Amino acid sequence: MLTRIAGGRVIDPTASRDAIGDVWVEDGRVVAPSDRAPDRTIDAAGCVVMAGGVEVHSHIAGGNVVLARLLLPELGVSEPDAPNPHGSGRDVGMLYARMGYTTAVEPAMPPVNALATQLELAEIPLLDRGGLCVMGNDDHLLQLLRDRAGANAVRDLVALNVATSRALGVKVINAGGADAFKDGAVRFSLDDEVPAYGLTSRTILNGLLDAVEALKVPHPLHVHCSNLGLPGADDSLIETLAAAEGRRIHFAHAQFYAYAAVDKDNPLTGGFASAAPRIAEALSRHPNATLDIGQVVFGQTATISLDILRQFSGRKAASPRKWIVNAGDAEGGGIVPFRYRDRGPTSSLQFAIGLELMLLSPDPERTILTTDHPNGGPFTAYPRILHLLMDKEARDRELAAHPKVAAERSSLSGLEREYTLTEVAQLTRSGPAKLLGLTDRGHLRPGARADIAVYRDQPDRTAMFSRAHRVLKDGAVIVEDGEIVAWARGRTLSLSVEADAGMARRTDAYLQGRFGAGLSSFTVPDAAFPGRDVFEAVSCRT
Amino acid sequence: MTAWINGQAVVRDEAVAAAAALLAGARSPVFAGLCAETAAVQAAFDLARVIGASLDPVAGSSLYADLGALASGGAMTTTPAEARGRADLVLALGAAPWASDIVTELAAEGPVRGRAAGRSRTLLALGGGGDGAVQHIAYPAGEAGLAAAIGLLRGLVAGRIAGPHPLADLAARLREALYGVVLYDPAEIGALGAEMLNGLVKDLNETTRCFALPLGDPYQGRAVAQVAAWSTGQGPRVGYGRGHPEHDPWRFDAERQAAAGEVDAALWLASLPAPLPTWIRTVPTVALLGEPKGDEARVVIGVGVPGEALGAALWHPRRAAIAWQEPRQEPRQEPQQDPQREPGSPLPGISPAAAILAELQARLAASPAPHPERASC
């Protein structure tokens, strides 16, 4: 079926396109304008047409997302006709689709829990999904590094884990930190040693950076640094950026590191000020680096992280006063409920810093919008955040409603920049798609997957981006006037990577010894999804 | 034959049609058991959403002893493999741990990973103990019972109880361990005991490392809890009677609902062995059973046993995770694998429970209007 999306303002930063025009779709793909009469015309007059949104970092599946629901039944509760971003996978898919998002990546899939994570991802409808395989605290990897087994062995183990868990990329979470926590540590930085292995966090990070490059994984190593959320955490991010030595690196939820210690001699007691200018400046000097924001929004949420050392340290701030640390087979996970208070000085400053990071961005394609859902707040806040980025007046009104410290310790009030629609598309479409190496999305050029969002162009950008006028997934209309009209099931994207047979044998023996279960127990076969064709292969870089 | 209506063998399609009719006529159905592979449990949740059923796993009571404690205070936990690899002290609470393999396994070796590596492993028992085959130090729970003893132990560890106490030595050992693990069965110690245990473990972590390790139930309950969480946003038990999922462990207890006459039809899903409830004889029920006799319920359909007749995602007790289990039986009459067959897919002639449930959903979606007369099959 040939479809013409007619007369909308088409925004595609990858083609420098911002003009009234048409987008043509056939067989699930964007095609060049056609001479044939379309079988269907979607009237987009008065609308903005963009590629479907792409999410790079949102905790939407996995053991810790499950645990958060079990810890906080009140947070995930369902109400009639009110889908909940902390609720079921179905609600998550619905809420993303309504905002015009069509792809979402769960960034924390531990290989030991890959099957459950993939089963859960497959139950998120309307979106294409993917998971990042988490490495960096597992005994098998740390053994290889300690025994100096060589870069090829590390590469082969990473490849095997990606292939077995059917991941889209690789993530490292406070490399070695979870292991150090199990041995009693409560502080851990880049050059600290994991006690039982005599390895620094830097050594582990280096090994993984090299492996991801050697395997030509499209998505760069996705890094959660040490010291998240502490005053002086900006040093951790900057040191980690230097440690990458030019290799591609992605920093997760950078806002949570953009905290300069006010008192350098007593960093933990002197409070913090924005380090957003320092991070933006570092980003402009390092074209190898990208980040996502982890914007804070106000209200009750649950923080979910595999950084169990950090979660344990943060336990006393739990609100309500209950929390979980699961010291699992590698990272495990920690759930600490938290309420960002809109009249609270700390939360307000965090809120300002996130916006500042985006407004100071040297390149919106490299500073991707996330709330690190649900850690900074739910992803459903994106429309409001985009509104604030696009409207200086609205931003000033918002800032005036918060404690003065937010304006005093950040440069937000002085920033005049207002994001254009093209920059919004870079922040939420072309940037994240490029970052994930998904060349078939994030743009509207011929050949693109026909994942398309049509928004009514209106001054109230929050309303505009909250409920899309139309959303197409693979060419089929799934949203009309902000409501789901067709329950497409989407695919799970997994990287095609060859696992080395020798490493598979070694790993099988290792797993048998440690778990009493071999490699096949850890696999994610198609047969686990009977009656469905869930996975779609993504190629490595050439 | 693998299908029966009122105890009479019928062809499978006839039984599926009767099952669909029975459920289509129900105003308040319950899906219970749920002792099955993840794909079947998922299909049960999907079908329940469509027809407005409630769901209650056979593991419900013991599972909820843990989930209730978790929701009220949180926890600090570890896994069986981490306990084997790291623990220099293991405390087994009550009798249940001694009936599982894990105590024997933990007694057989010492820690090999982390800061306790190379130390010996001390095995302690509170309110229980083995028959002497495994060396351990036993402490009595006292007359007030196990849950109270855990509370006392927490008080001792925190220094809130002065003077000599029979458990003072146990408290000291927990504080001195580098990596302690406390084994327990939620069903045995109850929600209150689990909550006190979680508090004890959290207190210990102010100065050292100690983690709780619950023994899983044998009925896939921990896998069901995960499917429930991602399908409904909540743990079990859950009901879809009002269209959206509602979590209520009391209200959706199948046993209670049957006794109170609140359900008019049931689906019992047990592709793996699970004790049949007595109400299955009185409530019109469709039973999907891995090992059917035929007379268990109004409609009985035999389904493939996961991990034997078909590959399946199942709870793996040693890994404490949902794990892939290859089928055990390979076809004897088939010397060569059918190249068309996906690895791990069911053998020819085997009906996976998930496929039956999908078929029921398709039939019920085709005739969604409730029609009470059709329930008499």
Q: Identify whether residues B191 and B246 lie together within a single domain.
A: no
Residue B75 has its nearest CB partner, among A84, A87, A324, at A324
CA distance A78 to chain B (A): 6
User: What average pLDDT does chain B have?
Assistant: 92
CATH code where residue B341 lies: 3.40.50
Interchain proximity A527–B211, CB inside 8 Å: no
Provide Rg for chain A, Cα atoms. 22
How many distinct structural domains can be found in chain A? Answer: 1
Interchain proximity B75–A524, CB inside 8 Å: no
Integer CA distances (angstroms), B308 to A36, A526, B376, in order: 56, 18, 34
Interchain proximity A327–B77, CB inside 8 Å: yes
Instruction: Check CB contact of A453 with chain B, cutoff 8 Å.
Output: no
Contacts with B, A 185-204, CB within 8 Å: 195-196
Which pLDDT does position B60 carry in this prediction? 76
Which pLDDT does position B371 carry in this prediction? 41
Q: Identify whether residues B113 and B239 lie together within a single domain.
A: no
Interchain proximity A196–B115, CB inside 8 Å: yes
Which pLDDT does position B15 carry in this prediction? 97
Query: Per-residue pLDDT averaged across B143-162, rounded?
Result: 96
Residue B115 has its nearest CB partner, among A78, A184, A335, at A184
Which pLDDT does position B62 carry in this prediction? 84
CA distance A180 to chain B (A): 9
Which segment of A414-418, B159-163, B276-280 scores lowest on mean pLDDT? B159-163
Q: Identify whether residues B158 and B95 lie together within a single domain.
A: yes
CA distance A490 to chain B (A): 16
Residue B323 has its nearest CB partner, among A88, A517, A529, at A517
Q: Identify whether residues B159 and B77 lie together within a single domain.
A: yes
Query: Per-residue pLDDT averaged across B144-164, rounded?
Result: 95
Of all residues in chain B, the one with the smallest CA distance to A113 is: B321
CA distance B217 to chain A (A): 17
SS (H, E, C) chain B: CCEEECCEECCHHHHHHHHHHHHHCCCCEEEEEEECCHHHHHHHHHHHHHHCCEEEECCHHHHHHHHHHHHHHEEEEECHHHHHHHCCEEEEECCHHHHCHHHHHHHHCCCCCCCCCCCCCEEEEECCCCCCCCCCEEECCCCCCHHHHHHHHHHHHCCCCCCCCCCHHHHHHHHHCCEEEEEECHHHHHHHHHHHHHHHHHHHCCCCEEEEEECCCCCCHHHHHHHHHHHHCCCCCEECCCCCCEECCCCCCHHHHHHCCCCCEEEEEECCCCCCCHHHHCCCEEEEECCCCCCCCCEEEECCCECCCECEEEEECCCCEEEEECCCCCCCCCCCCCCCCCCCCCCCCCCCHHHHHHHHHHHHHHCCCCCHHHHCC
| Residues from chain A contacting residue B210 (CB–CB below 8 Å) | none
Please identify, among B214, B247, B269, the residue that sits at the C-terminal boundary of a domain: B214
CATH code where residue A200 lies: 3.20.20
Query: Per-residue pLDDT averaged across B143-172, rounded?
Result: 95
Residues A100, A53: Cα–Cα separation, whole Å: 6
Of all residues in chain B, the one with the smallest CA distance to A164 is: B324
A446: three-class secondary structure by DSSP: coil
Q: Domain span at residue A208?
A: 52-417
Q: Identify whether residues B85 and B143 lie together within a single domain.
A: yes
Q: Identify whether residues B225 and B348 lie together within a single domain.
A: yes
CB neighbour list of residue A287: distance below 8 Å, 6 or more residues apart: none
Of all residues in chain B, the one with the smallest CA distance to A90 is: B231
Flag whether pLDDT at A325 surpasses 70: yes
Query: Is A451 a member of any domain?
Result: no
| Residues from chain B contacting residue A323 (CB–CB below 8 Å) | 74
Which pLDDT does position B376 carry in this prediction? 38
Q: Identify whether residues B228 and B365 lie together within a single domain.
A: yes
CA distance A385 to chain B (A): 26
Which pLDDT does position A106 carry in this prediction? 98
The rounded percent of chain B whose pLDDT value lies above 90 is 85
Of all residues in chain A, the one with the smallest CA distance to B235 is: A70
Instruction: Check CB contact of A326 with chain B, cutoff 8 Å.
Output: yes
CA distance B80 to chain A (A): 8
Interchain proximity B231–A69, CB inside 8 Å: no
Q: Identify whether residues B134 and B99 lie together within a single domain.
A: yes
Which pLDDT does position B374 carry in this prediction? 38
Residue B225 has its nearest CB partner, among A70, A90, A327, at A70
Question: Does ipTM come in above 0.90?
Answer: yes
Which pLDDT does position B130 carry in this prediction? 79
Interchain proximity B78–A327, CB inside 8 Å: yes
| Residues from chain A contacting residue B81 (CB–CB below 8 Å) | 329, 514-515
Which segment of A62-66, A76-80, A286-290, A389-393 scores lowest on mean pLDDT? A76-80
Q: Would you place residue B342 in the very low, low, confident or very high pLDDT band (cuts 50, 70, 90)?
A: low
Query: Is A288 a member of any domain?
Result: yes
Query: Is A483 a member of any domain?
Result: no
Query: Is A287 a member of any domain?
Result: yes
Q: Would you place residue B329 in the very low, low, confident or very high pLDDT band (cuts 50, 70, 90)?
A: low
Q: Would you place residue B340 in the very low, low, confident or very high pLDDT band (cuts 50, 70, 90)?
A: low
Q: Would you place residue B339 in the very low, low, confident or very high pLDDT band (cuts 50, 70, 90)?
A: low
Query: Per-residue pLDDT averaged across A455-464, rounded?
Result: 98
Q: Identify whether residues B153 and B37 lie together within a single domain.
A: no
Please identify, among B214, B238, B267, the residue that sits at the C-terminal boundary of a domain: B214
Interchain proximity B114–A179, CB inside 8 Å: yes
Which pLDDT does position B279 carry in this prediction? 97
Q: Identify whether residues B176 and B321 lie together within a single domain.
A: no
Q: Identify whether residues B86 and B23 lie together within a single domain.
A: no
Please identify, among B195, B214, B233, the residue that sits at the C-terminal boundary of a domain: B214
Q: Domain span at residue B107?
A: 65-214
Strand blocks (E) in A122-196: 128-135, 169-173, 193-194
CA distance B228 to chain A (A): 9
CB neighbour list of residue B17: distance below 8 Å, 6 or more residues apart: B363
Query: Is A532 a member of any domain?
Result: no
How many distinct structural domains can be found in chain B? Answer: 2
Q: Which residue has the higher pLDDT, B340 or A228?
A: A228
Flag whether pLDDT at A437 surpasses 60: yes
Query: Per-residue pLDDT averaged across A55-84, rounded?
Result: 95
| Residues from chain B contacting residue A116 (CB–CB below 8 Å) | 38, 226, 313, 321-322
Q: Would you place residue B335 in the very low, low, confident or very high pLDDT band (cuts 50, 70, 90)?
A: very low
Q: Identify whether residues B226 and B360 lie together within a single domain.
A: yes
Taking the model in full, what pTM does it have? 0.96
Q: Would you place residue B368 in the very low, low, confident or very high pLDDT band (cuts 50, 70, 90)?
A: low
